Amino acid sequence: MSKLLDLGSPVTAAVDWLTVNLAGFFEVIASVMLALVNALLFVLTAPHPLVLVAAFAGIAWWASRRWGLPTYTALAFLVILALDLWTPAMQSLAVVLVASAIAVAIGVPLGVWAARSRRVSVAVRPVLDLMQTLPVFVYLIPTVFFFGIGVMPGIVATMLFALPPAVRLTELGIRQVDAEVVEAAEAFGTKPWQVLREVQLPLALPSIMAGVNQVIMLSLSMVVIAGMVGADGLGSVVVQGISQLDVGAGFEGGVAVVLVAIFLDRTTNALARPKRSRRRRKRPVAPEPAVPASESRPTAAAGTP
């Protein structure tokens, strides 16, 4: 029985045309992304692991100003080190950070544009809906055709999969800024870009940081899927455990993914909260009012002459 509607053939033709005619463009993108991942991976693997554990704990303390998160961070990465999964964990972390940075760099400006333009918002919304409802494996099919097997399709698929929350939550945060505050800023002669930079973005920062948090979490959820197309890291450890029916190895890789995910989630959430000054300002004590001399004399006790 023949198909009444064939969507696969046009998509296949489009992918083939892009692969042939834009091969140079994809090579440039691959070179830039690989350079970023390799540079970040060098930073994460060149020092001794204990130095990185201390650095991660310091970042956690700087973000939260409490000792609970740094303590968890140190213990979590020491567990990863004890499992002999330090290098795969750093490989996955490098991919996640690069993909998340690119997704945020694209998604936040696009969300700002959508918040300030109704036409852009209407045009972007169905695309974001499609990107969020597509199965994860669908992202891997064209990226493998464009970039081959390896880490590159994992980075691109991760970036595309994690992009929608950055756009949506940035647009939502800016639209929720009180219109009266914006009108008050404009009444003082503030230019539109100054209103955006000094009023809308600071007030929308909690929503934007929530979008950043979701981008990082979705990127980390793609680690195992990226391991299926040859990307190194914890995903390849889990995939290898599945292919070899090694439950223990797959479980250890999954535990390492969870430990890194909790660290990234709690740290980004802590960065979104406003910091409170640890030093309390002393309130000025009001001086006691002077008492007139006539009122300051002691009252005679009852019965004294």
Residue 235 lies in a domain: yes
Residue 12 lies in a domain: no
pTM for the full predicted model: 0.80
158-210 pLDDT per residue, tens: 888 889 999 999 999 998 888 888 888 778 777 878 888 888 888 888 889 88
Question: Encoding tokens for residue 215?
Answer: 């981008």
Q: What is the CATH number of the domain that holds 140?
A: 1.10.3720.10
Mean pLDDT of the chain: 82
Residue 5 lies in a domain: no
233 torsion bin: left (phi>0), alpha (psi -120 to 50), beta (else): left
Q: How confident is the model at residue 73 (pLDDT cuts 50, 70, 90)?
A: very high
pLDDT at residue 111, rounded to an integer: 92
Domain extent for 26: 19-273
Residue 265 lies in a domain: yes
Q: How confident is the model at residue 54 (pLDDT cuts 50, 70, 90)?
A: very high
Residue 234 lies in a domain: yes
227-259 pLDDT per residue, tens: 777 778 888 888 888 788 888 888 888 899 899
Q: How many domains does the chain have?
A: 1
Residue 59 lies in a domain: yes
